[in-house]
Structure 1
Amino acid sequence: MAAPQDGFRLDGEVALVTGGAGILGRKFCAGLAAAGANVAVVDLTGAEDAAAQIGPAAAGFSCDIADPASVHSCVAAVMERFGRIDVLLNNAATKTADVCDFFTPFEEYRLETWREVMSVNIDGMFLMAQAVGREVLKSGGGRIVQTASIYGLVGPDARIYEGSDYLGGPINTPAVYSASKAAVVGLTRWLATYWADKGIRVNCLVPGGVSSGQNSTFSERYSARVPMGRMAEADEMVGPMLFLASQASSYVTGQVLAADGGWTAW
Structure 2
Amino acid sequence: MSFRKSATFIVLLMTLIYAVPPGSKGASSIAEQLPQFWLVRFVEIEPHKVDQFERALRDRVQAMRRLELGSEWTWYATRRPDFTYTFAHPLASLSELDALWKRIYQPEDILRESTIRRLLNRERAAIRSYQSELIQHLESWSYHPKAPTAKTPPRFQRVVLEWVRPDRRPQYEEVIHRFREALAKIAHPLGYDAYRIIIGSGSFAYVWMAPSAEYYYRTNNLSELLTRALGREEANRLVQRWHWCLRKRES
TM-score by length of 2: 0.29
* Larger Rg, first or second structure (1 or 2): 2
Larger relative contact order (C-alpha < 8 A, sep ≥ 6)?
A: 2
Pick the structure with more strand per residue.
Answer: 2
